[in-house]
Structure formats: C-alpha cells, structure tokens
Amino acid sequence: MGEQRRKLQALVMAGAQCYFCGAASAETIDHVPSRDLFVNRVGPEGFEFPACKDCNSMTRYVEQVVALYVMMLDRDDSRFSQAEFERKYIGVRNNFPELLPSDGVSANDKRRAFQFHDARYRTARTFAEEPILSIPDEVLAAFEIFSFKLGLALYFQHHKVPADGSLRQRCFWLSITEKSVAEIINSANKILPVGQIGARINTDIGKQLTYRIGTHDPTRTFIAVTQIRASGCVVATFTSRELPEEFSKWTTVESRRAEVIRGLRCDPRKFLFES
C-alpha cells in the first residue's frame, strides 16, 4: 500500500491528467487491464494509470463481466481455477444475471458459428456435442468499452498524455478462435515495431498480456494490438486521417468518451443494454 501511495503522490505532484477523460486531475491509480483479468489477480507491472475517481470507478461492472468471459475463453486450461471461476460467475450473476451465457444453442447454430471461427478449435466429433454457449449481445458492448479503455491507456503509456479528443478511433475485441485473429496477430508482429510482454519482477506470470505498437507521426496515428491470455485480442487505432464514408463505425475520441462517461456514470445497466 505504501508503494501505491508513493506512485499516486508522484502523479498528483506532477499535475497528471486523467488518462481516460483527459480533463480532470489525477486522484487515483487505475489498473488497466483490471487485475481481475489475470490469474490470481496478479497482473504485469507498469500498467497503472493516473485517473480521476469517477473514471476509475465507472467501469467496475464492465470489467467484472469482461473478466468472467476472458477466463471462460482462455484456451490455456492449465490456468483454470474452479474457485476463481465461481467467484467471477457469482459476481456477474449478482449484478448482471442477464449477461451470463446460455447453453441453449442448436446444432445448426453451432455449425454456423464455425463459419466465423477457426475449425482447429473444434473439440467434439459432431456439432451437437460442441461445448458452444450463446453470449448475450450486451457482453459485446462491455468488451467494446473495455477495448476503448485499454486503447486510451496504451496511448497514454506511449505518449505520456491523454489522447486528443479530435482523433478518430476504433477499438474492438476479437475472440482468439475467430478466423481473422491469427492473421491480425501475424501482421502486427511483422509491421508494428514495438513489442512488449507484460511481466513482473521476481514473479513468473507467463504471457498473459502481450502487445505491439506502431505510430505514424504525420497523421498522428497510433495502433496497438494486444493479446490477453489465450482469450482474444484488442485492436485499438487512433488517427487524425480523413476516413472514407464506409468507415462508419469510427468516431472521435471526444464523442466516444462523452458517450461512455455519460452512460456509465448515469446508469451502467441501462447503458450496456442500450449500446
């Protein structure tokens, strides 16, 4: 706790702005990704960011949902803990029971799912036997918010200032089983120059978090591709480039910030279910 206070004091004395909203002064330290995403809540060092109290606390329910699904999607069974799973499951059940997965998936729906997912992840002889669950759409909204938060954090880590509100952004999550993930990760390894593996001094936490970053200063472009456990990856892009009309899902950092802050501070449940 003493080390935590020292870090906070250093940030406050330095006049740091909140990495998320980019406006308020830092009052707390936010761990991004949340420690709950990692085995036994032990994550890599160096992923602590200056945040105002509101921005630090507003995503706690989103991160609770994301932490459960990151664990469920992890393809590394050696990290599975029944006690940890039950704790996460009960937390989501108590706060967002509608966001728990459902096993009512037909064989035809499971077959269609593999049009988008890599066949090498098949585990059963028939589609009917595949352990595929149905995930509510609102879970995808939680991952979108989580991805935006991680993108802002990595931008701050690289540039030492919050992302400019005028930048256009697109931050999204892909499950490790989706066909496009392997290509994205391979391309990132070849194209993006800065690669990192999240680690702790004197503690082996494995490769639970790896990422690659690339920038293009003339267009103020920042790209980060982050893999979390063996669950999936977040692709975060910020740029000042003019984009064609077909890039309709791209919004400015300012508008996305305002949307998330307004929605989560007012009513997290309503915001997730209406996103």
DSSP line for 58-109: TTHHHHHHHHHHHHHH-S-GGG--HHHHHHHHHHHHHH-GGGS-B----HHH
Structure tokens at 62: 């989103």
- Checking if the pLDDT of 3 tops 70, the result is no
pLDDT at 114: 87
Q: Chain-centre distance of CA 66, in angstroms?
A: 8
Model confidence band, residue 252 (pLDDT cutoffs 50, 70, 90): very high
Return the pLDDT at 233: 96
pLDDT tens for 104-144 read: 899 999 898 888 888 888 888 888 888 888 999 999 999 99
Domain ranges of the chain: 2-60+138-274, 61-137
Distance of CA 148 to the CA centre of its chain: 7
The lowest-confidence range among 101-105, 150-154, 160-164, 244-248 is 244-248
User: What value does the mean pLDDT of the chain take?
Assistant: 91
Q: What are the pLDDT digits (tens) for 54-103? A: 999 999 999 999 999 999 999 998 889 999 999 999 999 999 999 999 98
Say how far apart CA 117 and CA 133 lie, in whole Å: 14
Scanning the chain, the segments in alpha helix (DSSP H) are: 2-13, 53-57, 60-73, 82-95, 107-113, 137-159, 179-191, 253-266, 268-274
pLDDT score at 1: 46
Q: Is 2's pLDDT higher than 90?
A: no
Q: What are phi and psi of 202, to 5 degrees?
A: 65, 10
Burial class of residue 143, CB neighbours in 10 A (0-12, 13-18, 19+): buried
Q: Which of 229, 174, 234, 196 is nearest to 42 (CA)?
A: 229
20's tokens: 């998320």
Work out whether strand 168-175 and strand 251-252 pair parallel, antiparallel, or are unpaired: antiparallel
Instruction: Show Cβ contacts of residue 242 under 8 Å, excluding neighbours closer than 6 positions.
Output: none
Cβ atoms 9, 117 nearer than 8 A: no
Question: Which structure tokens are listed for 183?
Answer: 């290509």
Quick one: pLDDT band at residue 156, thresholds 50, 70, 90? very high
Higher per-residue confidence, 120 vs 153: 153
Integer Rg of the chain from CA: 19
State pTM to two decimals.
Answer: 0.92
% residues pLDDT > 90 (the chain)? 65
